[in-house]
């Protein structure tokens, strides 16, 4: 992910002025943040393990007064919410954010709210695909006329389902082209869609599968 990012930054005429790593469970970003400030970088892209490490890094960044444009490749909306004001302005990319402005998403969110109420955990692009996958499987089983594995597999690329993310169809070597969203965390913790990349092709994933 970071290799791709570096290549892309070079391609659009940018320059990577620094690249730093910490062990997965590392919690002390002191030296790295000081180097970041020293580098006079214009923007920051991070990719930690999901959840807690994001929070630790963001707290220390904000504590040190780092406010440059910041894109996080590993944060989900729920984690961003738990960071409160510290998360404001962070860019994140995902195939699902709650801010998708579509009737399907609004219906989905309203239904979730109704079912779970205050216990609702923020849906993200880990949980929504599971939700859609169940419906996709249902459609495949219906088309195959039973649950026999080989028949369901055969039927899977021929069906589609319309979920919170729109139409999902696993017709690219049993992968689905997904629309990717660039979101930005708002002051209230919600994520606003600031860029949409329609139906990103998954590329060669399983070349031998038709």
Partner 1 sequence: MLLILDVLTTAGILFVVSIGLLAVFGVLKIINFAHGAWLTIGAYCAVIAAELGLNPWAALPLAFVIGAALGGLAELFIIRPLYRRPLDAILATWGLGIVIGQLITLGFGRDVQMTPNLFSGTVEILGVDYSAYRLVALGAALVIGVVFAAAMEGTRLGLSARAVIMNETLARGLGIDTVRVRLVTFMAGAGLAALAGVLLTPLTSVDPNMGVGWLIGAFMLVMVADASLVALAVACLVFGAAQVLISTFVSPILGSIAIAVLAALVLRVSPKGFSRA
CB of 143 closer than 8 Å to CB of 151: no
Minimum distance between the CB of residue 34 and partner 1, rounded to whole angstroms? Answer: 5
Q: Would the CA dihedral through 71, 77, 83, 84 be positive or negative? A: positive
- Closest CB to partner 1 among 59 and 151? 59
CB of 111 closer than 8 Å to CB of 104: no
| Binding-residue total with partner 1 (CB under 8 A) | 32
Instruction: Say whether residue 107 binds partner 1 (CB under 8 A).
Output: no
- Specify the stretch interacting with partner 1 by CB under 8 A; choose among 62-70, 108-116, 149-157, 164-172: 62-70
**Cβ burial 19-45 (10 Å sphere, 16+ → b, else e):** eeeeeeeeeebeebbeebeeeebeebb
- Specify the stretch interacting with partner 1 by CB under 8 A; choose among 3-11, 79-87, 145-153, 155-163: 79-87
Query: In terms of Cα–Cα distance, which of 204, 202, 191 is closest to 96?
Result: 191
Instruction: Say whether residue 82 binds partner 1 (CB under 8 A).
Output: yes
Q: Which residues bind partner 1 (CB under 8 A)?
A: 20-23, 25-28, 30-32, 34-35, 37-38, 51-56, 59-60, 62-65, 78-79, 82-84
């Amino acid at each position: 992910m970071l290799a791709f990012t570096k290549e892309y930054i070079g391609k659009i005429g940018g320059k990577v002025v620094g690249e730093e790593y910490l062990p997965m469970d590392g919690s002390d970003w002191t030296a790295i943040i000081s180097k970041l400030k020293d580098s006079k970088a214009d923007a920051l892209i991070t990719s930690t393990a999901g959840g807690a490490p994001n929070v630790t890094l963001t707290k220390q960044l904000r504590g040190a007064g780092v406010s440059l444009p910041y894109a996080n490749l590993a944060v989900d909306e729920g984690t961003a919410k738990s960071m409160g004001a510290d998360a404001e302005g962070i860019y994140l990319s995902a195939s699902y954010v709650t801010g998708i402005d579509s009737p399907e998403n609004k219906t989905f969110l309203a239904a979730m709210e109704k079912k779970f109420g205050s216990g609702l955990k923020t849906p993200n692009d880990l949980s929504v695909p599971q939700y859609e996958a169940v419906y996709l499987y249902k459609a495949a089983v219906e088309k195959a006329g039973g649950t026999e594995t080989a028949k369901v597999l055969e039927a899977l690329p021929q069906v589609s389902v319309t979920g919170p993310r729109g139409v999902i169809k696993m017709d690219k070597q049993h992968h689905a082209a997904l629309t990717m969203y660039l979101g930005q965390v708002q002051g209230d913790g919600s994520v606003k869609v600031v860029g949409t990349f329609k139906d990103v092709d998954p590329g060669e994933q399983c070349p031998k599968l038709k």
